[in-house]
Amino acid sequence: MGNKHPKGLYSLFFTEMWERFSYYGMRALLILYMTRQMLYGDTTAYGIYAAYTALVYATPFIGGIIADQILGY
């Protein structure tokens, strides 16, 4: 069996790897930044964090509906 992968797979892999690294790294520091630098209370900081996380997962779904229903893709 050959171990041939398409050439674009390597750039796709590294792009996705660094995107995930930056996303999870930012999530790990977001609460600390809001509570220590911006001086938000814990409740406010966690509320913003929860809203951000919800939007990260909801926007692809909303974008899919728009693409399917409105744009016709």
pTM of the model: 0.70
Which amino acid, one-letter code, is at 29? L
Query: 20, 28 in Cβ contact below 8 A?
Result: no
Residue range 30-67, pLDDT digits in tens = 999 999 999 999 999 999 999 999 999 999 999 999 99
Cα 24 to Cα 34: distance, rounded to the nearest angstrom: 16
Query: 33, 44 in Cβ contact below 8 A?
Result: no
Domain segments of the chain: what residues?
8-70
